[in-house]
Structure 1
Amino acid sequence: MPSLSRRDFVNAATFAVALPGLSRSGKAADYPSRPIRLVIPYAAGGSGDQIGRPWVEKMSSQLGPTFVENVGGAGGAIGTTAVAREKPDGYSLLLGNGSTQVIIPLTTPNPSYSVGDFRAIYRLISSALVFAVHPSLPATDLQGLIAYARSKPGALSYGTPGIGTGNHLVGELFKQQAGSLDIVHVPYRGISQATNDLVSGQISLVIAVMSDQLQQLRRAGKIRLLAVTTDRRLSGAPDIPTAIESGMPDLSYEGWFGLFAPTKTDDAIIDRIAQATRAAMADPALQARYRAQGMEPDSDSSPEKFQRVVDATSASLAPVIKSIGLQVL
């Protein structure tokens, strides 16, 4: 059997070590070679669809066939967990937000996933939450809502898309900052179900991501929108005051939605998705579509910038969550 010289041995070992990297690079170079799935971790018909589906439509010309799968439940935790357990090959992506990526991991004693299970790719939009009430409620602003809740302790309830969501956090902050109001939290599998119950009068208050659907219901007189949680009024709904303007100076929350992949996804694949998304988000028609819903599109995001947003959200919300004792059991 021929022997290997020291130089031959070193060259062969170096090539063997490089093979896994070459294999990964080859897979990334071929990406995508089949349809991409975007998991929206909420029931169909909510704000997640209004954010994720326009992106999916744009990806047909940027990346190829892309489709949505709604996997709702547990405030977004079920769908998020499903993506965390997928292969890190770029074919299963998550439309995540501050609830799924920060609040749930911080408030769940034994979470089924962690912040470290994901890589940030691109922030699509920033958003506001809005206090929506049934027209039969004798409140036209937040102070009126507070007064009514104080006069009827335990009679009011508020709906959200689930325990541990940003909506839930804002609801608990509202109760605390208004003087420990007695309002019951009612978690739903998705905000569309909560909105349907609000319109029908089954529930009096919903805290939801501002959307075109809510504005249409408002114009039709089926709901009333009292205040948004951003520091400034929304360009798409300038007549709705902020919670700060409404006498609650510490009630401020700006949400976001964006794309995530399992943490071990190849850098080249992450960059490919980010570049395609940046090109799509530069489209004025897509920007107008998001703004019409009261959302602000991000045309200048990146994996690094978005990760900084996630980290900053975690740093800012952790002490708030601790102070109000929010925990998902």
Structure 2
Amino acid sequence: MKRRHLLAAGLGALAAPAVARADTKFPDRTIRLVVPFPAGGATDVIGRMFADKLTHQLGQTVIVDNKSGAAGSIGAMEVKNAKPDGYTLLMATSSTHAINPTAYVNPPYDPIKDFTAISSVCVNPLVFYANPSLPDTMMELVELMKKNPGKYSYGSAGFGSIVHLAAEYLKRAVGGMDVLHVPYKGGAPAMQDVMAGNVAWSFETFSTLLPLHRAGKLRILAFCHSRRAAIAPEIPTMSEAGVKGYEAYTFNLILGPPGLPQYVLDRLDKASRQAMADPATIKFLEGNAAIPTPDTTPQRTEQFIKDELAKWAPIIRAADVKIS
């Protein structure tokens, strides 16, 4: 009996280092970060920056793989179906994890159960902008819309886009406005028609519009976040402009397939937090008008997704957004 106990203890001592060695092997090859949108856009730019930061922290190359289509669902599905070993990650966005799960008639994935939350990177707030001929304060413009029902229109980057939903959210937040929605195939043509006066106003990300605002070709009236943007602190938040509590933004999160082993999740969590603690990361994000989320954890990231789903679902349903 004593010999058996000694043998078991010896095997246990041998097994423990073996487990430890297995746990420290990750990562031992290239990691793929799937960006579910084309190269060159804001998500791609932030994804490439963060891939470089993770490469430095993990000691293995992290490459960006652009898998666009179906409003980000194609890339999200690829990660959902990947082997849960930490070598395939997703740069999730508001489209993939706040809009699509409600907007799709038959959602191709569950935004919580089909992914492992790892890290939050940033939110990228929208700005409200208008043609320069319109009032230069938010509440004066809203009052103009209310006094002229059906006369004005707003542009969006497409039916069901974050810009469309931000406008529908605004209409609810100010007690209703009768304005016509004009969907475009992207934010650029909507912006051109705002400048031309063909539509009155729209939403867009800050980095796209700031040069045009400063040149007087359009007017940014409000920043859709709780605090002002570092690159343009003179522009008020939406709450400061009179629409209390209003926030609308895209976001960037790092997610993995469901069922990531705990030691893999722990390693990715640590690397992500180290990347977000780098002052260069914060400077880069703020320089692109994004709001960094340095206090990231897997638990906070998952709760953030749940909160965004709860926020946008009633707006999506009220706007009758259905993607088949």
**Pair in the same fold by TM > 0.5:** yes
- Distance in 2, matches of 1:73 and 1:174, equals 28
Contact 1:163 1:328 in 2 (8 A): no
User: How far apart are residue 78 of structure 1 and its match?
Assistant: 2.8
- Distance in 2, matches of 1:313 and 1:148, equals 28
1:121 corresponds to 2:121? no
Between 1:274-283 and 1:215-224, the stretch displaced more is 215-224
Q: Secondary structure at the match of 2:53?
A: helix
- Distance in 1, matches of 2:308 and 2:300, equals 13
Pick from 241, 248, 254: which aligns with 1:246? 241
Query: Partner of 1:195 in structure 2?
Result: 188
Query: Partner of 1:76 in structure 2?
Result: 72
Letter matched to residue 81 of structure 1: M
Q: Secondary structure at the match of 2:241?
A: coil
Q: Secondary structure at the match of 2:240?
A: coil
Query: Partner of 1:276 in structure 2?
Result: 271
User: How far apart are residue 163 of structure 1 and its match?
Assistant: 4.5
Q: Deviations over 1:35-90 (max 9, x none)?
A: 22222222333221232121112223222212222333333223222322222222
- Distance in 1, matches of 2:151 and 2:307, equals 35
Provide structure 1 residue ranges, at least 5 long, that are not aligned to the other structure: 1-6
Q: Deviations over 1:118-142 (max 9, x none)?
A: 111000113321123455x535343
1:144-223 aligned at under 5 Å gives the runs: 145-146=141-142, 147=144, 151=148, 153=150, 156-160=153-157, 163-178=159-174, 179-186=176-183, 188=185, 193-195=186-188, 198-199=191-192, 204=199, 205-211=201-207, 213-223=208-218
CA 1:101–1:66: 2 relative to 1, 3 Å? same
1:290 corresponds to 2:285? yes
- Distance in 2, matches of 1:198 and 1:166, equals 15
Query: Partner of 1:227 in structure 2?
Result: 222
Contact 1:99 1:164 in 2 (8 A): no
- Distance in 1, matches of 2:151 and 2:104, equals 26
Query: How many aligned residue pairs are there?
Result: 304
Letter matched to residue 124 of structure 1: V
Identity in percent: 31
- Distance in 2, matches of 1:175 and 1:298, equals 28
Contact 2:117 2:255 in 1 (8 A): yes
- Distance in 2, matches of 1:163 and 1:299, equals 32
Letter matched to residue 33 of structure 1: D
CA 1:194–1:98: 2 relative to 1, 3 Å? closer
Query: Partner of 2:108 in structure 1?
Result: 112
Contact 2:149 2:177 in 1 (8 A): no
CA 1:285–1:106: 2 relative to 1, 3 Å? same
Between 1:296-305 and 1:75-84, the stretch displaced more is 75-84
- Distance in 1, matches of 2:245 and 2:282, equals 30
Query: Partner of 1:99 in structure 2?
Result: 95
- Distance in 2, matches of 1:252 and 1:30, equals 42
User: How far apart are residue 304 of structure 1 and its match?
Assistant: 1.6
Letter matched to residue 83 of structure 1: V
- Distance in 2, matches of 1:150 and 1:292, equals 38
